[in-house]
Structure 1
Amino acid sequence: MILKTENLTLRPWDEADAECLYHFAKNPNIGPIAGWPPHESVEDSLNIIKTVFSKKETYAVVKDDIPIGCVGLLFHPDCNHYWGDDSAELGYWIAEEYWGNGYAAEASEALIERAFRDLKINEIYASYRYENKQSGRVLEKLGFEYYTKLNNVNYKGEAFFEIAVKLKNNLY
């Protein structure tokens, strides 16, 4: 499946994307705020492509033929929290060099439309670290509403708070 927006293409990740993924995902400003460690090598990025990014409804966010981020829907049991049988969890990240252009919202909006229209999902949830105000603004722009506060633990075993938000399918 390939999805197109005004500025972006959402397509499956390819093993050939590993070097580009590593370039962006090694940045310590990207992964830790989203709950994952910075990538340590091209091989690390390739492994992520083969495992995490190979799941259904996970897409490379591509701008000018460069994968600049990722957007995906996670379904039970792969999501971070169990939200219900007819729901999914939205996740995304955009390379720091591309922040401030609305690409996270643009990519997410395309995937949300697919989820509600084609996949017949009734609710989409997302969560973000309390201090990640940028991600909170993206979800607010997309129409998500506050659901609950969550306690979580990061990849280093450190506790943190997340805000969980929810979007109901009122369109399809």
Structure 2
Amino acid sequence: MTTYKTERLIYRDVSKADIPFIQVYASDKELSKKTLNIPYPYPNDGAEQFFKATVKAEAAGLMKLFVMEKQDEFVGTIALTINNQENSAELGYWVAKPFWGLGLGTEAAHFICGFAFKQLGLNKLMASAQADNIGSKRILEKIGMHLTATTKKDRFRMGKWSDTVHYQLMSQDFNKTIVQ
């Protein structure tokens, strides 16, 4: 298993041992409210299904997912959903609630951009967030992503319609980014 390190985090492949952590953290209503794709209530077998789908997608070359750890504690996941035809990927991540506000999402997002552009040779990264998720928008802006569109009332989450913001970053612009 290959691992990578940044200042405070270790990134490694997902394993079956992560399923209980994913199940507990992804079941948190507050986390679900901040994401575009984690349902609430989270299914009882949600983490198991997520694990199986991830392993299958990685084997097909369509995804690269890392578990984030801080001092041997599960922090969250960060992934690239790869479009080989367009030499691009969509960035997705979540950080468990006990680790919110520590800058770990920004650190991980910066790492995954470097991995995408330097290791995988991708040309473009895209990411989306709920328009009212200030923290996620700040992460994307800090790593140099540029807002490209806002789609109005396109997601029905937690009993209401919400807007989605879309960002992108080109490989040639990555080295110009400043993370604070």
- TM-score, normalised to structure 1, is 0.85
1:27-81 Cα distance to aligned partner (Å, 9 max, x none): 101123212214343x32122122146633111111121221110111239xxxx
Whole-angstrom CA distance in 1 between matches of 2:67 and 2:19: 11
Alignment gaps of 5+ in structure 2: 176-180
Q: Equivalences for 1:103-118 in 2 at 5 Å?
A: 103-118=104-119
Aligned with residue 50 of structure 2, among 20, 24, 48: 48
Whole-angstrom CA distance in 2 between matches of 1:14 and 1:150: 35
C-alpha contact 2:67 2:74 (8 A) present in aligned 1: yes
Q: How many residues align?
A: 165
Whole-angstrom CA distance in 1 between matches of 2:151 and 2:70: 33
For 1:122, the equivalent position in structure 2 comes to: 123
C-alpha contact 2:22 2:47 (8 A) present in aligned 1: yes
Whole-angstrom CA distance in 1 between matches of 2:156 and 2:91: 18
Indicate how the Cα distance of structure 1 residues 44 and 90 shifts in structure 2: closer, same or farther if over 3 A, else same. Answer: same
Aligned with residue 63 of structure 1, among 55, 64, 70: 70
Q: Secondary structure at the match of 2:122?
A: coil
1:87-109 Cα distance to aligned partner (Å, 9 max, x none): 11111110111011111111111
Give percent identity, aligned residues only: 25
Q: Equivalences for 1:7-156 in 2 at 5 Å?
A: 7-35=8-36, 36-38=38-40, 39-41=42-44, 43-52=45-54, 55=58, 56-76=63-83, 85-151=86-152, 152-154=154-156
Q: Secondary structure at the match of 1:124?
A: strand
- TM-score, normalised to structure 2, is 0.82
Q: What CA RMSD, in Å, does the superposition of the two structures yield over aligned residues?
A: 2.2
Q: Secondary structure at the match of 2:74?
A: strand
